[in-house]
């Protein structure tokens, strides 16, 4: 049925032999032991201490070095130890993996880190789902905490009482009083700091505006929480922009906040794993987390996000991650485990056009959140910056008071944030920033900044060059909010693209959702650009990033959980994916920002989130322990390890196939074969979840270029007696290729439901050439090696 996949052996061995480099200093390491085998948390903790004591002379030292004991939902601990001790622990039979706790990053696009400043924006209410409001669902949000006073976290009318089964807590801390902060909306708030402080030093809560409590000192967590579950607020806007009603995807869902990231946007893996351990035990129904690290990706059992989300999934808890902001180049997608959902970002149909008029005649259109009329001299960057390069290093120390500076991204090249800071230092009245249109999206700025494209920018530039004085009068008008713009959606250029670097047979990202210029709640004590130079205060702010798209999906997952409490995380993901659309509002294929070409599944996954359709998908691709066992085998786990990780039902067989096989056979809602060498058949199983009494589904197929796809059977029947059916997909390469991805789809339809799976195939029939070169030990040509 499946072809052997020698190329996966390399990956498997690599993960088995993964070793931390030797260092004599102590670091925070995570020691992962698999599923909790002891029912009693106290006994489990004692057991962890015993294990750790094995690498210390005295038990007191072991106690002192222990950071967290993970003992509720899975078993493991983190400790401050040196590499020798880590290696000793890794050699113990009961230990599955030992890895150094890394620092993950929030997935927002803008970075002011070079100035010691950092940013994050707001969310939006683009999912007006009427069917349910997320009742009876608890959303666990792993982020920078919460600003509980925001109207987004007031109780909605008719909120249900908190369920008795809820074990979460609202803990007190600096500027955080559980009695006033928590209510029927915000039902839990915890924070995790030990790992962060051991890795980055004490928090310095007094000198910075950080809080040793669940209170948000960054804005990111408040923003993502209000996007996912924010209560209805009648009027919201950012200084008049994006005015309208604000609400999260699931306004009546309960919110439980787990603060694992801090004001600087950094999050320690030791803390993240502690949050997973407690959140799963507390009883959340889903977890939303907008952080990660770009490749190199480590094997799944060396990553807190992947370990935590695995155990969450086993308890029926959906975990939704952001894909990262490393686009548009391929293969930089993050959070790629098949048991979690990975979300890319796209635009919505809203623009903020801003008119620029030169000398009372020539008119240009850009985008900004500009609130004022600006009358000034427009001056080229050369006057202020050497080489016309708009950054601080190139500043000629000339004051730009009364001037709007024209800057090009291509000179330098410079990022818009750099240009803004440089123009601000020069005291400019404003900035016109010219960039490729595919890279531009409007954002909140520290000085009035209007983004224009290269064509208009070039016209401005030549007009300016012809002026004898090197400047000209410019008038900039306040920006407007315009909706129903097209094309929309467009995939954000920054959204991380597939294929997954560690499991290319699982399509990632899974889905895309709005993540550009999203308006959502903001702590009024934090300026909208999160810089000291910005004196503004706002309760709503715009933010962009896959950080913002992730909670859109989380909100919809809360609605799905509320409507279908019995659906597994895999079934919910399937509903999201098979109903997603890949055509924009004009029925054209959704464009991919960054290239302005038609998007592929590596840009948007199965497509763009379609909340109403996801409520009633007709069929779902579910997954169970067997599916994950095959996946874990393929990823280098041994039979014994798998037994200790997967909660097995009696009768489940843990049998890894002799050879590593393709993960294309996982019952995933998308089909990816990253190395098709010869004809291959894979199997999928779908289950009826529609309310119709009988249904007949017909397959329609679009074959990827150069691959013949056949589906058998072509008709699936569901009745009271059989709610599950399998079908087989045969992929037959019809071309000679050394590795080029082509895209098609399989769609099942009963005339009412449309169940669509993207089919992604990389034909690799010309591998003989690669072996020939390999054997003659010549250096591999990049195009062959990369195939």
Ligand X SMILES: *[C@@H]1O[C@H](CO)[C@@H](O)[C@H](O)[C@H]1NC(C)=O
Stretch of 122-130, 196-204, 494-502, 668-676 contacting ligand X, by CB under 6 A:
196-204
From the CB of residue 610, how many other CB atoms can be counted at a distance below 10 Å? Answer: 21
Pick the closer one to ligand X by CB: 45 or 695: 695
CA distance 532 to 424: 12
Q: For the window 139-178, what string marks contact with ligand X as x by the rule CB under 6 A?
A: ----------------------------------------
**DSSP, residue by residue, 373-401:** -EEEEEEEGGGTBGGG--SGGGB-S---T
φ/ψ of residue 293, rounded to 5: -140, 140
Pick the closer one to ligand X by CB: 194 or 382: 382
Among 116, 157, 161, 202, binds ligand X (CB under 6 A): 202
φ/ψ of residue 418, rounded to 5: -60, -45
CA distance 168 to 190: 8
Residues in 260-279 that interact with ligand X by CB under 6 A: none
Among 532, 723, 724, 781, binds ligand X (CB under 6 A): 723
Stretch of 407-415, 545-553, 667-675, 712-720 contacting ligand X, by CB under 6 A:
712-720
723 noted as active-site residue = no
Is 7 one of the binding residues for ligand X (CB under 6 A)?
A: no
Catalytic residue among 45, 48, 83, 143: 143
Stretch of 180-188, 543-551, 573-581, 690-698 contacting ligand X, by CB under 6 A:
690-698
Is 683 one of the binding residues for ligand X (CB under 6 A)?
A: no
Among 177, 363, 719, 734, binds ligand X (CB under 6 A): 719
Pick the closer one to ligand X by CB: 3 or 690: 690
Q: For the window 51-70, what string marks contact with ligand X as x by the rule CB under 6 A?
A: -----x--------------
Is 690 one of the binding residues for ligand X (CB under 6 A)?
A: yes
Pick the closer one to ligand X by CB: 161 or 202: 202
506 touches 338 (CB < 8 A): yes
Among 322, 688, 757, 764, binds ligand X (CB under 6 A): 688
Stretch of 291-299, 357-365, 529-537, 692-700 contacting ligand X, by CB under 6 A:
692-700
CA distance 507 to 29: 31
**Closest distance to ligand X from the beta carbon of 542 (Å):** 27
326 phi-psi bin (left φ>0, alpha ψ -120 to 50, beta other) = alpha
Pick the closer one to ligand X by CB: 506 or 699: 699
The gap from C-alpha 115 to its chain's centroid, in whole angstroms, comes to: 25
Among 73, 75, 85, 120, binds ligand X (CB under 6 A): 85
Among 3, 20, 53, 82, binds ligand X (CB under 6 A): 82
H helices, E strands: number in the chain: 19, 37
776 noted as active-site residue = no
Pick the closer one to ligand X by CB: 470 or 710: 470
Is 693 one of the binding residues for ligand X (CB under 6 A)?
A: yes
Is 718 one of the binding residues for ligand X (CB under 6 A)?
A: yes
- β-partners of residue 733 are 707
**Closest distance to ligand X from the beta carbon of 649 (Å):** 21
Catalytic residue among 547, 562, 599, 674: 547
**Closest distance to ligand X from the beta carbon of 452 (Å):** 21
- Give the helix/strand (H/E) hosting 407: strand 403-408
Residues 255-293 as b/e (b if ≥16 CB within 10 A, e otherwise) read bbbbbbbbbbbbbbbbbbbbbbbbbbbbbbbbbbbbbbb
**Closest distance to ligand X from the beta carbon of 620 (Å):** 10
Closest CA to 214 of 253, 181, 166, 179: 181
Query: How many Å from the N-terminal Cα to the C-terminal Cα in the chain?
Result: 23
Pick the closer one to ligand X by CB: 201 or 650: 201
Three-state secondary structure call for residue 199: helix
**Closest distance to ligand X from the beta carbon of 395 (Å):** 7
Stretch of 4-12, 13-21, 580-588, 687-695 contacting ligand X, by CB under 6 A:
687-695
**Closest distance to ligand X from the beta carbon of 380 (Å):** 7
User: % helix / strand / coil in the chain, to the nearest 5?
Assistant: 25, 30, 45
Q: State how far the alpha carbon of 737 is from the alpha carbons of 505, 661, 786, in Å.
A: 18, 21, 12
Number of residues that bind ligand X (CB under 6 A): 27
Token pair of 189 as six digits = 């708030």
CA distance 453 to 686: 47
Residues in 317-376 that interact with ligand X by CB under 6 A: none
Q: Indicate the DSSP class of residue 261.
A: B
Among 11, 203, 250, 460, binds ligand X (CB under 6 A): 203
CA distance 710 to 728: 8
CA distance 283 to 422: 49
Among 160, 683, 692, 714, binds ligand X (CB under 6 A): 692
Closest CA to 214 of 167, 179, 170: 170
Pick the closer one to ligand X by CB: 469 or 777: 469
Among 59, 160, 200, 714, binds ligand X (CB under 6 A): 200
Is 689 one of the binding residues for ligand X (CB under 6 A)?
A: yes
Catalytic residue among 48, 107, 133, 220: 220
Among 397, 586, 653, 658, binds ligand X (CB under 6 A): 397
28 touches 77 (CB < 8 A): no
Q: For the window 639-678, what string marks contact with ligand X as x by the rule CB under 6 A?
A: ----------------------------------------
Q: For the window 724-753, what string marks contact with ligand X as x by the rule CB under 6 A?
A: ------------------------------
Among 91, 116, 157, 201, binds ligand X (CB under 6 A): 201
**Would you say the C-alpha torsion 383, 389, 390, 395 has a positive or negative sign?**
negative
443 noted as active-site residue = no
- β-partners of residue 385 are 395
657 touches 670 (CB < 8 A): no
Q: Tokens 């197929």: give the residue.
A: 701
Among 720, 778, 779, 782, binds ligand X (CB under 6 A): 720
Is 231 one of the binding residues for ligand X (CB under 6 A)?
A: no
Residues in 434-493 that interact with ligand X by CB under 6 A: 469-470
Among 1, 21, 24, 234, binds ligand X (CB under 6 A): 24
Pick the closer one to ligand X by CB: 596 or 719: 719
CA distance 311 to 74: 7
Stretch of 202-210, 283-291, 633-641, 767-775 contacting ligand X, by CB under 6 A:
202-210
Stretch of 80-88, 246-254, 284-292, 663-671 contacting ligand X, by CB under 6 A:
80-88
328 touches 497 (CB < 8 A): yes
| Helix residue ranges, H only, 239-369 | 269-282, 304-314
Pick the closer one to ligand X by CB: 26 or 677: 26
The full 3-state SS of 93-149, as one line of letters, equals CCCCEEEECCEEEECCCCCCHHHCCCCCCCCCCCCCCCCCCCCCCEEEEEECCECCC
CA distance 132 to 250: 8
CA distance 570 to 619: 12
Binding site for ligand X (CB under 6 A): 24, 56, 82, 84-85, 200-204, 382, 396-397, 469-470, 688-695, 718-720, 723
Active site residues: 143, 220, 547
């Amino acid at each position: 049925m499946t072809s052997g996949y020698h190329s996966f052996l390399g990956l498997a061995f690599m993960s088995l032999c993964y070793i931390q480099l030797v260092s004599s200093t102590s670091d925070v390491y995570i020691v992962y032991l698999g599923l909790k085998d002891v029912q009693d948390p106290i006994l489990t903790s004692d057991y962890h201490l015993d294990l750790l004591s094995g690498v210390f002379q005295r038990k007191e030292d072991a106690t002192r070095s222990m950071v967290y004991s993970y003992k509720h939902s899975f078993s493991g601990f983190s400790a401050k130890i040196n590499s020798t001790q880590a290696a000793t622990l890794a050699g113990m039979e009961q230990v599955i993996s030992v890895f150094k706790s890394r620092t993950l990053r929030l997935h927002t696009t803008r970075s002011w880190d070079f100035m010691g400043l950092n940013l994050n924006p707001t969310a939006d209410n683009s999912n007006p789902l009427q069917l349910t409001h997320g009742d009876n669902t608890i959303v666990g949000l792993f982020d920078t905490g919460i600003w509980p006073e925001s109207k987004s976290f007031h109780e909605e009318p008719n909120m249900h009482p908190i369920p008795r089964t809820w074990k979460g807590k609202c803990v007190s801390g600096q500027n955080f009083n559980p009695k006033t902060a928590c209510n029927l909306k915000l039902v839990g708030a915890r924070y995790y700091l030990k790992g962060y402080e051991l890795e980055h030093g004490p928090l310095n809560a007094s000198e910075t505006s950080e809080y040793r409590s669940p209170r948000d000192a960054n804005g990111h967590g408040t923003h993502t929480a209000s996007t996912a579950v924010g209560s209805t607020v009648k009027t919201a806007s950012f200084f008049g922009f994006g005015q309208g009603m604000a609400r999260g995807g699931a306004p009546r869902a309960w919110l439980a906040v787990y603060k694992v990231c801090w004001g600087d946007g950094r999050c320690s893996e030791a803390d993240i794993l502690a949050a997973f351990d407690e959140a799963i035990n507390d009883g959340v129904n889903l977890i939303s987390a907008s952080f990660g690290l770009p490749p190199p990706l480590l094997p799944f059992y060396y990553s807190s996000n992947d370990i935590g989300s695995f155990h969450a999934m086993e308890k029926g808890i959906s975990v939704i991650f952001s894909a990262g902001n490393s686009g548009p180049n391929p293969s930089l997608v993050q959070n790629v485990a098949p048991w979690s959902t990975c979300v890319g970002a796209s635009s919505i149909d809203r623009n903020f056009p801003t008119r620029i008029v030169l000398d009372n005649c020539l008119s240009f259109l850009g985008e900004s959140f500009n609130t004022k009329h600006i009358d000034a001299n427009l001056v080229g960057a050369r006057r202020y910056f050497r080489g016309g390069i708009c950054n601080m290093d190139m500043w000629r120390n000339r004051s730009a008071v009364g001037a709007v500076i024209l800057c090009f991204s291509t000179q330098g090249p410079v990022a818009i944030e750099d240009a803004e800071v440089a123009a601000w230092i020069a005291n400019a009245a404003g900035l016109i920033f010219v960039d490729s249109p595919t890279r531009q999206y409007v954002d909140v700025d520290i000085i009035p900044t209007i983004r224009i494209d290269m064509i208009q920018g070039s016209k401005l530039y030549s007009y300016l060059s012809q002026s004898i004085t090197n400047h000209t009068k410019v008038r900039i008008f306040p920006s407007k909010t315009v909706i129903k713009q097209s094309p929309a959606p467009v995939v954000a250029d920054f959204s991380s693209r597939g294929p997954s670097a560690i499991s290319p047979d699982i399509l990632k990202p899974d889905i895309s959702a709005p993540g550009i210029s999203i308006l959502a709640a903001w702590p009024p004590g934090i300026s909208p650009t999160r810089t000291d130079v910005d004196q503004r205060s706002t309760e709503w702010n715009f933010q962009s990033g896959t950080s913002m798209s992730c909670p859109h999906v989380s909100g919809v997952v809360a609605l799905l959980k509320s409507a279908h409490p019995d659906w597994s995380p895999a079934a919910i993901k399937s509903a999201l994916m098979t109903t997603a659309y890949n055509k924009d509002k004009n029925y054209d294929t959704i464009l991919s920002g960054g290239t302005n070409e038609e998007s592929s599944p590596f840009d948007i996954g199965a497509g763009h989130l379609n909340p109403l359709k996801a409520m009633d998908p007709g069929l779902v691709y579910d997954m169970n322990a067997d599916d994950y066992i095959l996946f874990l085998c393929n990823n280098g786990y041994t039979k014994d390890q798998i037994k200790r990780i997967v909660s097995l039902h009696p009768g489940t067989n843990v049998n890894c196939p002799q050879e590593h096989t393709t993960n294309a056979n996982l019952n995933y809602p998308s089909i990816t074969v990253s190395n098709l060498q010869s004809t291959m058949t894979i199997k999928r199983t779908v289950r009826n979840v529609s309310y119709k009494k009988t249904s007949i589904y017909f397959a329609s197929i679009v074959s990827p270029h150069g691959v013949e796809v056949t589906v058998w059977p072509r008709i699936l029947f569901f009745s009271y007696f059989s709610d599950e059916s399998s079908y087989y997909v045969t992929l037959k390469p019809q071309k000679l290729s050394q590795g080029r991805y082509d895209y098609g789809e399989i769609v099942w339809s009963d005339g009412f439901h449309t169940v669509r799976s993207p089919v992604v195939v990389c034909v690799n029939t010309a591998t003989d050439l690669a072996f020939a070169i390999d054997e003659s030990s010549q250096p591999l040509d990049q195009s062959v090696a990369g195939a």
